[in-house]
Amino acid sequence: MDAERLSPGALATDTAARAMAIRVVFVLLPQSLVLDWAGPAEALRIANQQLQARGHPPRFVLEFASPTPTSAGSVGVTLSGLVPLPARWDGPAWIVLVGLPGRTIAVEGPEAQAVLHWLRAQRFERDRLELVTICAGAVLAAHAGVLAGRRATTHHHHLDELRRVEARCEVVANRVFVLDAPVYSSAGVTTGIDLMLHRIADTCGEALAAQVAQTMVVALRRGPNDPELSPFLAYRNHLHAALHRVQDAVSEQPQADWTVPRMADVAHTSPRHLTRLFVTHAGVAPLTYLRRLRLAAAQLALQSGANVTRAAELSGFGSDTQLRRAWHQFGLAGSPSALQAVDGR
């Protein structure tokens, strides 16, 4: 496929797929909360699966590390074959710290002390070595001193504890997750999936993240400030497989020459029935859905520095006039030129 004809979202996915794989190390201590690491790990596995289905190499290399080769999880399952805490990094990597049960996080044990000592030796830097905390994993990070001068959140039961452990951290309450690169923190349990989906979107594109969310039946992907849902993720709170197939195809290439009959071919149904499916299950007409995706693709292009004419071309609008008309039709604030001026500098 000609790269010049790819939408910004598809370009991001294609570029990410060719980039160096990211090493993702889940650090597990005795009694680590299983859902804190299993959900995010599944999201990354499914992202790799989706990439490989498109003919791209996997983007994430998952490891499960611990000071000991075996460790009992929070639900009584013993994990074996855990690798040692990494001694070196040969490429981009994420360290993932997860929560532990209890009203406070005990760090006196030898395993916890070994992890804290190891964390203090790491040098976190954006796009090189990044830290992801899930639930009370932020408290572990605070004990290691790596949240000083950072914004972070944690499970609401541990917010005061986080403030006590690291007074130099700006603790943010009432947030699903907080982004302060190279540190990313989530409030806990299922919000770890929300945060990992956000990181997948940043790395591989919104369209791929949407497909991962739908595979996991995560109906609504939440954001750091609970903003309006991205059009790549909206209108997908349903379980109709054929409709998801159409939405996947359109979100991957919103700039293509889509018509209702062409969408119906993807769903293996008639144009009239496809329109009924969209209205019944997604609550939107198919061409309205297409225009919303094209607007999202145009916004991504503008934020990447494209001018309005180029953004219109990349997103499938016939002209910058059509882009401006759709922009105002859907009530977006400002104008395409203003967004390009702010984000494109």
Q: CATH no. for residue 129?
A: 3.40.50.880
Give me the DSSP letters along 26-39: EE--TT--HHHHHH
- Let me know the angle formed at the C-alpha of 118 by 113 and 124, rounded to the nearest 5 degrees: 135
Tokens 């144009």 found at: 271
Co-location of 183 and 250 in the same domain: no
Co-location of 167 and 37 in the same domain: yes
Q: Of all helices (H) and strands (E), which one includes residue 24? A: strand 22-27
pLDDT band per the 50, 70, 90 thresholds, residue 334: confident
Co-location of 300 and 238 in the same domain: yes
214, part of any domain: no
239, part of any domain: yes
Q: How far apart are CA 158 and CA 164, in angstroms?
A: 10
Co-location of 30 and 148 in the same domain: yes
Higher pLDDT, 40 or 334: 40
Query: Is residue 258 classed as helix, strand or coil in its secondary structure?
Result: coil
Q: How far apart are CA 221 and CA 210, in angstroms?
A: 8
156-193 pLDDT, tens digit each: 889 999 999 999 999 998 788 899 999 999 987 788 99
132, part of any domain: yes
Q: For position 174, what pLDDT does the model report?
A: 73
Pairing label, strands 78-79, 71-72: antiparallel
pLDDT band per the 50, 70, 90 thresholds, residue 230: low
pLDDT band per the 50, 70, 90 thresholds, residue 10: very low
Domain endpoint, select from 208, 239, 260 = 208
Please say if the pLDDT value at position 35 is more than 70: yes
Q: For position 13, what pLDDT does the model report?
A: 45
Write b or e for each residue in 173-194: b if 16 or more Cβ atoms lie within 10 A of its Cβ, otherwise e.
eebbbbbbebbbbbbbbbbbbb
Q: Which domain holds residue 325?
A: 231-345
71-97 pLDDT, tens digit each: 999 998 899 999 999 999 999 999 999
Domain endpoint, select from 165, 193, 208 = 208
- Counting the structural domains of the chain, the total is 2
pLDDT band per the 50, 70, 90 thresholds, residue 121: very high
The predicted model gives 302-318 an average pLDDT of 89
| Per-residue tokens: 317 | 């609008």
Q: How far apart are CA 270 and CA 112, in angstroms?
A: 60
